[in-house]
């Protein structure tokens, strides 16, 4: 079974975009919303992974204290939200055991940030035996100005590494056409 994963689409990402940070895919929220609508229409599971405040008490929660959710990532009543305190959505949650219990083997990954949480979640998921698909135009990437690296360079290198050994890369149109 296949599930859509939405990683860290919290308002901090929108604030970075609005502040003019060097960014790849600033329109990813629109694509994520379209993908979520498609998965819901088809009755396929959607799982939300969010960074949580260290004071948040539960591994399953509808919102993380201090980190408001972007509209594209609002969870419906039947959609689980996993709150993480690590870069990978697997390392500090029971996501893997939930996926296995539900018979979910294929993950379609979207969200933020390409070089950080998306990267580590995809690599970790592949290492755990899940089939990982990254929707490249539904993933946000930012620059690292202190390192002199543009958002595009970081994004392109991250996607190349993921495609080389960890995931299939597709665009939103590929998923919506299926």
Q: Which residues contact 117 (CB under 8 A, 6 or more apart)?
A: 7, 8, 49, 51, 84, 87, 88, 89, 111
Which is nearest to 93 in space by CA: 131, 56, 67?
56
| Mean pLDDT across 162-167 | 98
Domains of the chain: 2-177 (3.40.50.850)
Whether the upstream peptide bond of residue 44 has omega within 30° of 0, thus cis, is: no
Q: Is the dihedral of CA 87, 10, 108, 139 positive or negative?
A: negative
pLDDT of residue 59: 39
- pLDDT digit string, tens, across residues 86-110: 999 999 999 999 999 999 999 999 9
Question: What confidence tier does 45 reach under pLDDT thresholds 50, 70, 90?
Answer: very high
Question: Nearest CA to 63 among 77, 45, 47, 81?
Answer: 81
Q: What is the CA radius of gyration of the chain?
A: 15
3-class SS of residue 160: helix
Average model confidence (pLDDT) for the chain? 92
- Fill in the DSSP letter of residue 114: I
Per-residue pLDDT, averaged over 25-54, amounts to: 94
Is the pLDDT assigned to residue 53 strictly greater than 70?
no
Is residue 6 within 8 Å of residue 33, measured between CB atoms?
no
Q: For 64-87, how does the pLDDT look when each residue is reduced to its tens digit (9 = 90+)? A: 444 789 999 999 989 999 999 999
- Residue 56 confidence (pLDDT): 42
Per-residue pLDDT tens for 58-67?
433 344 444 7
As a dihedral over the C-alpha atoms of residue 22, residue 27, residue 33, residue 38, rounded to 10 degrees, the angle is -120
- Nearest 5°: the CA angle 51, 165, 159 is 55
- Evaluate if pTM is beyond 0.85: yes
């Amino acid at each position: 079974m296949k599930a859509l994963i939405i990683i860290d689409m919290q308002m901090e990402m929108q604030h970075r975009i609005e502040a003019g940070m060097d960014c790849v895919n600033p329109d990813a929220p629109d694509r994520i919303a379209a993908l979520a609508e498609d998965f819901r229409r088809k009755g396929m599971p959607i799982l939300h992974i969010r960074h949580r405040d260290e004071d948040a008490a539960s591994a399953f929660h509808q919102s993380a204290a201090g980190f408001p959710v972007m509209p594209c990532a609002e969870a419906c009543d039947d959609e689980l939200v996993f709150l993480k305190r690590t870069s990978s959505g697997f390392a500090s949650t029971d996501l893997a055991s939930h996926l296995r219990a539900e018979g979910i083997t294929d993950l379609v990954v979207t969200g933020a940030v390409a070089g950080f949480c998306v990267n580590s979640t995809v690599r970790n998921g592949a290492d755990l035996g899940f089939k990982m698909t990254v929707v490249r135009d539904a993933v946000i990437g930012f620059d690292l100005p202190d390192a002199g690296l543009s958002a595009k360079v970081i994004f392109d290198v991250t996607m190349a590494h993921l495609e080389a050994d960890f995931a299939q890369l597709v665009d939103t149109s590929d998923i919506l056409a299926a």
